[in-house]
Each structure stands twice: as C-alpha cells, then as structure tokens.
Amino acid sequence: MKMLVTGGAGFIGSHIVDALLEKGHEVAIIDNMVTGQKENINPTATFYEIDIRDKEVQAIFAKEKFDVVFHQAAQLDVRKSVSDPGYDADVNIIGTLNLLQACKETGVKQFIFASSGGAMYGEQVHFPADEEHPCWPSSPYGVTKLTCERYIYYYGLSYGLKYKLMRYANVYGPRQNAHGEAGVVAIFTERLLRGEQPVINGDGLQTRDFVYVHDVVRANVLAMEHAESDYFNVGTGIETNVNEVFTGLNEATGAGKEEKHAEAKIGEQMRSVLSYEKAKARLGWEPQVTLQQGLVETVDYFRKKS
C-alpha cells in the first residue's frame, strides 16, 4: 500500500517510516524540517519538504493517492503552547484540517493520528487513565489534540474515513530532538553527556509514563491492521517521577551530577500514567522495553551521535 507519514523526518515519524518500508509498503514523507533532521530521512522514501498547513499539500495527495496517512507532525512543545497558543492551534488544528480535507478529496482509506493521552486527559482523577477518562487538558497543546480528535471523528462520521487515535504517553528513545521537541529524557541525556548540569523543574516528583519509541511504532503498525475506527492509549501503566529519570540517566551516562531544581513551569501536570489494557485486548499490543533498557539504549544513541 501507499503510505504518507507527516513529520517523517522527526523522532517518532522517522521510526514509523522505517517500519513501514521494512514491511514492503511505498512510503512518502511530508516534513517542514523545523524540528526534523535530514539524517532521519530514509532514502527509500519519497520526501516532500512542505508544511502541513500549505495548500500545496492537496496537490501532493492528488498526485500520490495515499491509502493510509500517519499524522505525526505537530507543534509538540507544551511550554511553547502556553506562551503562544495561537501558533500551537494554527499548526496542530489548521494543519490537521488541511490533511483531513485532502484525505476526503482523494479517497484516503485510513487516518492514524498521534494524539496525547497525558496532555489531553489533564490532571487525572484515576490512575492509570483508561480511554474513557474525562478530557480536561491543562495546556493549549492538550486542547489542540482533543480538538483534532473531534474533527477526525467528524470526518469519519461524515465521509467514512477510518481512523485510529493513538494517545501517546511520554515517548522517548533514539532520534528524539533535545532542542526542537519536548522530551525530558533527550534533554537530560544530551546535557549529561556534555558534562552540563540538567535542571529539574519543580520538586521533580511530577510523574510521567515513559514509553519507548519502538514500542510506539509497533502499536501504530498493529493499529493500521485493525479493521475498525478506534482509539488507544499507548503507554506502560507505570508512573516514574522526573527525579528517578534523572538518576537513571546519571548512572547510564556516568556523569556523576547532583540533582538541581528550579521553579515549576506553568501548565505542567503533576501525575500522568496510562492504561494499555484496551490496546492489549484489541491489538495484541503491550510494551516490551523496560525503562532501564530504554534509557541505556537512548544514551548509547546520543553517545554515538556526539
């Protein structure tokens, strides 16, 4: 089949591209290269350097006649969404609508969307959060993900577009951009390997559900093969606080740094952890990489890259 991966030069998107090519699919990438990296682009894929908001995207869809779209491109930085919610909404909502219109007009069969369980559910009322957890986002970024999910549902209802809404926990691993994409693991790893001091926002007791990128890719591929429109959490069901992540990376890098804390950031949740029971039941998916394994592999990647 013919696949499109938006954000295919980025962190998660580039790994999805690799996995689809390995399965024998024909793959194209759309990426504006704001945070994407040239070295992430698989040379076997067709590459279009273009913004998802650009109307020329429609012409690409008309030419390529995609079967499936994996929409990974986004403004990912929660703090940037707080400081500039208009830009966040423009990229994430208007960009997604541009793609959905192109899907409608060119007969795309399936739309697989990178959503965010952690950001979209907001401060949780039960732990871990399942897919029926109330959605009260505490950041503009979370609001845009929720809004996109509702638009995708509309296109499915009105035009028969099959969809999968993949609600990611905190994804980490090789190729994460410590400068252009949100991700405490990548940021801490790079600083520790440079001998610099990472700074933990607040008391560091805020928890996240850290899921390894290869597990996330496998969830996306399994979701593509699932017949019906659906929505899934993609997480581990395990809460880990930021201090623990720092300690694990400090050991893996051998940096020997002490914890250093700063003021907490506006819009940052205190606890976030997702149940993956639905994905296990319907897709046969569950996480395979432990946090300890994943942190070591991530450090190895950054060490080789530096």
pLDDT in tens, 268-302: 789 999 999 999 999 999 999 999 999 999 999 99
pLDDT, one tens digit per residue, over 54-75 is 999 999 999 999 999 999 999 9
- Looking at residue 186, its pLDDT comes to 97
Neighbours of 256 (CB within 10 A): 9
* Active site annotation includes 276: no
Question: Which residues pair with residue 114 across a beta bridge?
Answer: 166
Both tokens assigned to 237 = 């069901």
Task: Report how far residue 225's alpha carbon sits from residue 220's, in angstroms, rounded to the nearest whole number.
Answer: 9
| Residues 97-122, mean pLDDT to the nearest whole number | 97
Three-point CA angle 14, 17, 18, nearest 5°: 90
Confidence of residue 265 (pLDDT cuts 50, 70, 90): confident
Report percent pLDDT > 70 for the chain. Answer: 99
| Residues 41-59, mean pLDDT to the nearest whole number | 98
Q: For residue 18, give the nearest of 40, 48, 49, 51 by alpha carbon.
A: 40
Catalytic residue among 48, 87, 121, 141: 141
- Looking at residue 221, its pLDDT comes to 98
Find out whether 255 and 191 touch, Cβ atoms under 8 Å: no
Q: For residue 168, give the nearest of 225, 97, 120, 126 by alpha carbon.
A: 120
Q: What is the mean pLDDT of the chain?
A: 96
Spell out where the chain has E strands: 2-6, 26-31, 46-49, 68-71, 110-116, 162-168, 170-172, 200-201, 207-208, 210-212, 230-234, 240-241, 261-262
From the number of C-beta atoms within 10 Å of its C-beta (0-12, 13-18, 19+), residue 97 rates as: middle
Spell out where 59-136 has E strands: 68-71, 110-116
- Please check whether the domain covering 2-171+212-234 is classified as CATH 3.40.630.30: no
SS3 60: helix
Q: Where in the chain is the domain with CATH 3.40.50.720?
A: 2-171+212-234
Task: Report how far residue 242's alpha carbon sits from residue 269's, in angstroms, rounded to the nearest whole number.
Answer: 12
Q: For residue 294, give the nearest of 207, 183, 198, 195 by alpha carbon.
A: 183
Task: Report how far residue 97's alpha carbon sits from residue 215's, in angstroms, rounded to the nearest whole number.
Answer: 28
Task: Specify the CATH class of 173-208+238-274+289-305 in words.
Answer: alpha beta
